[in-house]
Amino acid sequence: MNNSLPAVEIPQPSPRSTRPEILAAEIIERLTYRIGKDAKVAKPHDWLTAAILVVRDRIIDRWMDSTRRVYEQGDKRVYYLSLEFLIGRLMRDAVSNLGLMNELRDALASLGVDFDVIAGLEPDAALGNGGLGRLAACFMESMATVDIPAYGYGIRYVHGLFRQQMADGWQVELPETWLAHGNPWEFERRESSYEIGFGGSVETIGGYDEPPRYVWKPAERVIATAYDTPVVGWRAQRVNTLRLWSAQPIDPILLDAFNAGDHIGALRESNKAEALTRVLYPADANPAGQELRLRQEYFFSSASLQDILRRHLQQYPDFSNLPDKVAIQLNDTHPAVSIGEMMRLLTDVHGLEFDEAWEITRGTFSYTNHTLLPEALESWPVPLFERLLPRHMQIVYAINAKILVEARKAKNFSDQQIRAISLIDENGDRRVRMGNLAFIGSHSINGVSALHTDLMKVTVFSDLHTLYPDRINNKTNGITPRRWLMQCNPALTSLIREAIGDKFLDDTEALHALDAFADDAAFQEKFAAVKRENKVQLAHLVGSRMGVRLDPSAMFDIQIKRIHEYKRQLLNIVEAVALYDQIRSHPELDWVPRVKLFAGKAAPSYHNAKLIIKLANDVARVINNDPAVRGLLKVVFVPNYNVSLAEVMVPAADLSEQISTAGMEASGTGNMKFALNGALTIGTLDGANVEMRDHVGAENIVIFGLTAEEVAQARADGHEPRAIIEKSKELSQALDAIASGVFSPDDRSRFTGLIDGIYNHDWFMLTADFDAYAAAQRTVDQIWTNPKSWYSKTIRNTARMGWFSSDRTIRQYASEIWRA
Ligand SMILES: *Cc1c(COP(=O)(O)O)cnc(C)c1O
């Protein structure tokens, strides 16, 4: 082995103590010598940084041990490539997984510092848009928990997703500055830097009596530098690495230009390089196909692949055993260019034959698909791809030629089938299809719920599935129970421990034992008290941030997720308007008091999504201020949805809204968080809701609406929204009220276009599902009025959601895809 340890005996540091008085002394030490502050003048932020540095030392002990173990045992390494990691805050997670919570609290208290106060100052690492990025974060934690040697690879965006503010009910986007106070969790690794090229040309060498060699001569180059963040598994079983790349110029300053007086021009390279990792692209209705996005994708793919291959060669003589020692999981198609990059590195740089490199590549990669929406499938115009990545364009053509010949020979494919599986879309302007590239270059392609996987086989990938019938498999998503139960809901966690003991902390399926308490009156009372206390805390947050008073005895009905037409926040708002009308028209009836809470960001260029936010706020203003409602209905849109806000809202929900148009939500994970925390779900048979119904029992979830099959049928038959609206008095009144400006007296036509869209095509089947949804809401009301029944159902939700732990998902990936 080339880098064996030197012969001298290097003393190992002894592991750090976890006694509160030692922790306190170290916090003071860090405050003084690392931050340079006297305890008397230290600000809360200084205490936070000092505390993180002390916690970090305890992590490092385990981190080094984990790294050493993989190397010594020759374990297979898993690499999770994702353009997004929506990790949120790390303090509570790290401290809790290390088992240091009480000790650190005591240590800080002895210094007059409140743990909760400083933990609340930590900025959210909002390096993701939504579910896909949060899944990557849950997976990182679960991979460390189930002891898989894994590395996450992504981009260290200087600005995460924008911060959302409301101005007169409209969404306003502000830059997120999560690095403003520095980031004490990360380690900059200057020694792990790689050159990344763009553009230029390809030179062909030889080719007479030996196969030609290709040399890419990029026109531009930047440096990728690694920043490592440790990821602690539950009980600190293992500590893995999240490695995020930052772009730096090769020449920070062009001195010739500077000396010639061109001070701005001298910095141009520097600015251009750094722009690469400055912003996270918001997930739009349709990806704009912007050059910077493709640059980001290639930048982090290339840096990660170079790093992976370098690490392999440190331990093994060549790449023949790469598929046995390395598994690379592509989180959606954003890193799919890695397949071309792997081929380039293996053939051009390391001299392997094309066919051999192809076998290794396909044996190493696997791909997770996250969406069936045709407009969200990534593809790049051929001229752009060719200009930016000329060598990769050649490789794509070479792979394509190989596969198309194979398909004609092996399966006798028709021209139409050949067109469908080709890496190049020839309809209209020619484009490189990243989904097909990811599929063809992987040995496993998975969907994220049973329904989504089934649909994948008959829609986007039907012909590729015919060609490779063994490749598509399902891995239903999961959530980490540490963050989404133990940390966000400590009161419920304590109550469960009291009832069934601690086994569920290590095996979430042990929650099943709670089933025995579902009808126990005393337990129901305690469960209700925990829920109420969580609602009081959310009411407090809403009161202090928004000045709206909420009654914690009302039903908290919550829909929080990205704003998108397919997620149908609009259906929820229209139903609220209909309910408002009913409450006013029938004051004699016993209405169940409800608070409808919304949160979520809209992509800045997604017009209708932004209009839906404005509508929610306009409707809220009218309903909340109408004395005729007598406080029976409130509508609240809480700004700036992120992981930390979800951690407060999820435990406080009575009702979870999971009402997407069937067939359009790949899985959802918000649905899982709520049910685990004892909310009742109202939802369609979409994504993972289908499997949730199987697990919690059909009597413990409120399902309504068209199935995916019925949606497809209705669209094929020519769905006629107008006819449906005419038949439903409640629906037509609600739509007319919105369209005619009842909620927007300052601009009566504000929502006319939005409602016209429903009258004219209603692609998302709002009208088709409205009556069923309204009826399902009245069923929910009925259950609510019988608390025994309500808590019997919600306790069973908590008891039966253990299967949706991301530990289970990761174990399935490990045994069925990674063989790690
Ligand atoms: C869980 C989560 C999501 C995903 O929610 P869905 O309801 O599955 O779309 C998005 N954003 C944040 C901050 C989350 O915590």
- DSSP codes joined into one string, 396-428: HHHHHHHHHHHHHHHH---HHHHHHH-SEE-SS
pLDDT at 251 over 90: no
CA distances from 676 to 125, 272, 479, 513, 686 (A): 24, 46, 10, 14, 18
Q: In whole angstroms, what separates CA 400 from the centre of its chain?
A: 31
* Alpha-carbon gap, residue 751 to 610, rounded angstroms: 11
For residue 150, what are its two tokens? 């894994």
Which of the four pLDDT bands, split at 50, 70 and 90, describes residue 27? very high
Q: Name the percent of the chain lying above pLDDT 90.
A: 90
| 534 C-beta closer than 6 A to ligand 1 | no
Pocket flag, ligand 1, residue 131 (CB < 6 Å): yes
pLDDT confidence of 270, banded at 50, 70, 90? Answer: confident
* Residue linked to tokens 């993989």: 70
What's the CA gap between 363 and 325, in Å, rounded?
11
Give the distance from CA 219 to its chain's centroid: 35
- Clarify whether 673 is annotated catalytic: yes
The best mutation among 84, 85, 86 to test binding of ligand 1, ranked by most ligand atoms within 8 Å of the C-beta, falls on 86
Find out whether the beta carbon of 669 lies less than 6 Å from any atom of ligand 1: yes
Separation of CA 597 and ligand 1 centre (Å): 15
Q: Tell me the CA–centroid distance for residue 84 and ligand 1, in Å.
A: 13
Report residue 744 CA to chain centroid gap: 34
Q: What is the pLDDT of residue 540?
A: 98
Tell me the pLDDT tens digit for each residue of 379-388: 999 999 999 9
Q: Is the CB of 668 under 6 A from ligand 1?
A: yes
Distance 646 CA to ligand 1 centre (A): 8
**Residue ID of nearest Cα to ligand 1 atom 4:** 131
Name the pLDDT band for 289 (thresholds 50, 70, 90): low
- Choose, from 145, 241, 669, 798, the residue flagged as catalytic: 669
pLDDT of the residue at 697: 98
With a 6 Å cutoff on the Cβ, whether 370 touches ligand 1 is: no
Predicted local distance difference test score (pLDDT) of residue 727: 97
Of the two residues 10 and 380, the one the predictor is more confident about is 380
Residue 199 contacts residue 178 (beta carbons within 8 Å):
no
Q: Write the residue with the smallest CA distance to atom 8 of ligand 1.
A: 668
Which residue, judged by its Cα, is nearest atom 6 of ligand 1?
Answer: 670
Dist CA 122 CA 45 (whole Å): 8
Tell me how far the alpha carbon of residue 368 lies from the centroid of ligand 1, in angstroms. Answer: 18
Q: What is the pLDDT of residues 164-212, one digit of tens each?
A: 999 999 999 999 899 999 999 999 998 889 999 999 999 999 877 787 8
CA of 669 to the centre of ligand 1 (A): 6
Judged by phi (left if over 0) then psi (alpha if -120 to 50, else beta), residue 507 lies in beta
Residue from 449, 559, 561, 641 whose mutation best tests the ligand 1 pocket (most atoms within 8 A of CB): 561
One-letter amino acid at 209 equals D
Residue 5: pLDDT over 70: no
The pLDDT tens digits of the residues spanning 317-334 come to 999 999 999 999 999 999
Q: Could you tell me if the CB of 128 is within 6 A of ligand 1?
A: no
Q: How do 424-425 and 431-433 pair as beta strands? A: antiparallel
Q: Which atom of ligand 1 is nearest to the CA of 88?
A: 13
Q: In the β-sheet with 655-658, what is the strand arrangement from edge to edge?
A: 633-637, 594-599, 555-560, 655-658, 680-683, 702-703
Which one of 370, 564, 693, 808 is the catalytic residue? Answer: 370
pLDDT at 61: 85
Q: For the ranges 5-14, 352-361, 490-499, which has the lowest average pLDDT?
A: 5-14
The tokens for 242 are 């999240």
Residue whose tokens read 């139903």: 575
Identified catalytic residue from 482, 567, 695, 750: 567
Question: How much is the pLDDT for 285?
Answer: 46
3 against 15, higher pLDDT: 15
644 lines ligand 1 (CB under 6 A): no
> 725 and 510 in contact (C-beta within 8 Å)?
no
Find the 468 Cα to ligand 1 centroid distance in Å: 33
Q: How does pLDDT run across 201-248, given as a tens digit for each residue?
A: 999 998 777 878 999 999 999 999 999 999 999 999 899 999 999 999
pLDDT band at 283 (very low <50, low <70, confident <90, very high): confident
669 is catalytic: yes
pLDDT at 299 over 60: yes
* Spatial CB neighbours of 118, under 8 Å, sequence gap ≥ 6: 44, 45, 47, 48, 51, 91, 108
- Contact present, 123 and 180 (Cβ < 8 Å): yes
CB 347 within 8 A of CB 354: yes
The single-letter DSSP state of residue 264 is T
Mean pLDDT over all residues of the chain? 95
Active site residue 561: yes
Q: What percent helix, strand, coil does the chain show, rounded to 5?
A: 50, 15, 30
For ligand 1, say whether the CB of 134 is within 6 Å of any of its atoms.
Answer: yes
Judge whether 51 and 10 are in contact, CB under 8 Å.
no
Q: Could you tell me the CA-to-CA distances from 13 to 10, 17, 100, 231 in Å, in that order? A: 9, 12, 20, 21
Q: Tell me the CA–centroid distance for residue 666 and ligand 1, in Å.
A: 13
Distance 758 CA to ligand 1 centre (A): 26
Q: What's the angle, vertex CA 207, arms to CA 204 and CA 210, rounded to 5? A: 135
What is the distance in A from the centroid of ligand 1 to the CA of 130? 5
User: How big is the chain by its Cα radius of gyration, in Å?
Assistant: 28
Query: Is 493 in the active site?
Result: no
Instruction: Report whether residue 197 contacts ligand 1, using a CB cutoff of 6 Å.
Output: no
pLDDT digits (tens, 9 = 90+) for 635-668: 999 999 999 999 999 999 999 999 999 999 999 9
Beta carbon of 687 within 6 Å of any ligand 1 atom: no
DSSP secondary structure string for all residues of 182-240: --TT-EEEEEEEEEEEES-EEEEE--SSS--EEEEE-SEEEEEEEEEEEEEPGGGS-EE
Write down the residue that tokens 């092996």 correspond to. Answer: 410
Determine the pLDDT at residue 286.
53
Query: Is 567 known to be catalytic?
Result: yes
Q: How far is CA 165 from each of CA 59, 615, 617, 622, 649, rounded to the nearest angstrom?
A: 36, 15, 12, 20, 18
The pLDDT tens digits for 774-820 are 999 999 999 999 999 999 999 999 999 999 999 999 999 999 999 99
- CA nearest to 135, candidates 306, 371, 359, 344: 371
Interaxial angle between packed helices 787-800 and 521-546, expressed in degrees from 0 to 180 and rounded to the nearest 10: 90
Helix orientation angle between 607-624 and 569-585, rounded to the nearest 10 degrees: 20
Q: Show Cβ contacts of residue 228 under 8 Å, excluding neighbours closer than 6 positions.
A: 186, 187, 189, 241, 242, 243, 244
Start-to-end C-alpha separation, the chain: 23
DSSP, res 279: B
Ligand 1 pocket test, pick from 163, 449, 560, 689 with the greatest ligand atom count within 8 Å of Cβ, gives 560
Catalytic residue status for 350: no
**What is residue 287's predicted lDDT score, i.e. its pLDDT?**
54
Over the range 165-182, which residues count as b (16 or more CB within 10 Å of their CB) and which as e?
Answer: ebeebebebeebebeeee
Q: Confirm if 662 and 707 have CB atoms less than 8 A apart.
A: yes
Task: Name the phi and psi angles at 418, rounded to 5.
Answer: -60, -45
The answer on pLDDT for 288 being more than 70 is no
Query: 4 pLDDT exceeds 60?
Result: no
The rounded Å distance from CA 477 to ligand 1 centre is 12
Q: What is the percent of the chain where pLDDT is above 70? A: 98
525 Cβ contact list (under 8 Å, min separation 6): none
CA angle, corner 423, sides to 686 and 215, nearest 5?
A: 135
Residue bearing tokens 């403003």: 180
Tens digit of each residue's pLDDT (9 = 90 or more) over 422-481:
999 999 899 999 999 999 999 999 999 999 999 999 999 999 999 999 999 999 999 999
**Which domains, from first to last, does the chain contain?**
74-89+124-170+183-368 (3.40.50.2000), 552-797 (3.40.50.2000)
Query: What values do phi and psi take at 301, rounded to 5?
Result: -65, -45
State how beta strands 220-232 and 424-425 pair: unpaired
Burial of residue 710, with CB atoms counted within 10 A of its CB: 0-12 exposed, 13-18 middle, 19 or more buried: middle
Whole-structure pTM over 0.85, yes or no? yes
| Mean pLDDT on 550-562 | 98
Write the residue with the smallest CA distance to atom 11 of ligand 1: 130
Choose among 695, 646, 656: nearest CA to 679: 656
At residue 1, the pLDDT reads 42
Q: Which two tokens stand for residue 602?
A: 């809209």
Mutate to test the pocket of ligand 1, among 93, 134, 371, 673 (most ligand atoms within 8 A of CB): 134
**Nearest-angstrom CA–CA distance, 154 and 79:** 11
Reported confidence tier of residue 7, pLDDT bands at 50, 70, 90: low
